[in-house]
Amino acid sequence: MTYLSRIRLNPLRTESRKLLANPGAMHGAVMGGLPGTNDNERVLWRLDADDPYRPHLFVLTRSRPDWTHIVEQAGWPDADGDHAAVRDYTPLLTQIATGREFAFRLTASPVQNTQSPRTPTPAQAARIAANTDTKRTRGFRMGHRTAAAQLDWFLSRTDRWGFDFPASRTDAPAPGLETPLSAPAPEPAASGEEARHANPPREVRITARNRHSFKKNGNGATVTFRSATFEGRLRVTDPQAFTTCLLQGIGPSKAHGCGLLTLAPLQERTS
């Protein structure tokens, strides 16, 4: 069985500030909520801190979790309300079908592999210098830095993940707000990345972008990665591939709060 949890965090508490600032510490707190030591279990989590006064932690687990330690150390243990809601994920999975549409949110780490980084770190420079023969070696994983590259990374992979995005709704403007007739028409693009940007606007946008850097295990090696949060409306095209994405996550840095795709019913639109 699979469970989706939502935990309220109090950003004014010392332990909360530690968790909010350090994905490694948050990962440790998440894993501390699971019984046993099941190394085969894929745990996904995401921190939604778009409201800095009411951040929420979402966690997807296969085992039923206990979040008492997080609520007591970083929440409002004596306040009213649900501090940690744990829901069975099965009812949502049974709704996955071709053509079904959902509102979604995903924080992912868009990356690329390259043999020659533009500004290599000292470790990368040493590895490049050590490779004196002509054999092809494994490339370096580099985070995409710009919003355009991060969005293109996302759009170019949705086919394999089992979903796409409906075209954005474009209503006629209200009287008096018509687009001027002199507005120039967009020029056609050629192919590849240009062609994707030339397609009609889709129901997806980036709502947050961050660079994360922290010490592993408190004083170990420095871990650095970039993340982008995508939101919008998606349409299922391959239920099996889509379900796999929901349960196993999307992209790298899953241990550090990336890859959890959450769904919600679409809001009814009034015309």
pTM beyond 0.75: yes
- Residue 173's pLDDT is 65
- Residue 244's pLDDT is 97
Q: Is the pLDDT of residue 191 over 60?
A: no
For 103-133, the pLDDT digits (tens) are 999 999 999 987 776 666 666 677 767 776 5
User: Measuring CA to CA, how many Å separate 79 from each of 11, 123, 157, 212, 231?
Assistant: 15, 49, 43, 32, 31
Please state the rounded mean pLDDT for residues 38-46: 83
Domain ranges of the chain: 3-89, 100-114+141-166+200-265
What CATH number does domain 3-89 carry, 3.30.70.1200, 3.50.50.60, 1.20.140.10, 1.10.260.40? 3.30.70.1200
> How many other CB atoms sit within 10 Å of the CB of residue 176?
5
Q: Is the pLDDT of residue 48 over 90?
A: yes
Distance from C-alpha of 85 to C-alpha of 6, rounded to nearest angstrom = 5
Q: Are 175 and 181 in contact (CB under 8 A)?
A: no
Lowest-confidence segment of 39-43, 63-67, 258-262 by average pLDDT: 39-43
User: What CATH number is given for 100-114+141-166+200-265 in this structure?
Assistant: 3.30.70.1210
